[in-house]
Structure 1
């Protein structure tokens, strides 16, 4: 089942496209969901990190970039706050 879950995430395929040799996709999905909920994946990840760190295979240096990218004003479909009157989205009775 772990190989089926790894295959699914490596390929980015939907669960329903899991090859038949891995068994029913529902079984792999349920196992992945259970492991995610009970913390099994977190424990596996922590153990792998610990082992890799103990043999010096992890470079813990961090690069921080403070670049800010802004979208053009026309690239969004959100309304702009122009400081004018705002239309309330509630009934007239609720506004009182």
Structure 2
């Protein structure tokens, strides 16, 4: 279904590893999520949603690193497709 990622993140909050900060996109912008991260000693680096009444401060320089992580996961998925031969399977074309 159409469920936001941060609702699933609520289930994982207790099992988060020790970290200094957490990078997330605007979809993770929720006050309860920010409060839970701060309670665990993790600094959220999440830009605020456009509909937010009060702007949220975040480290823009640190947030730019998120694109590197997204690119790496994209490349890993491409290599997985090649390694498992999804491109060459006859079922992919029929």
Would you say same fold, with TM above 0.5? no
Bigger RCO of structures 1 and 2 (CA < 8 A, at least 6 apart): 2
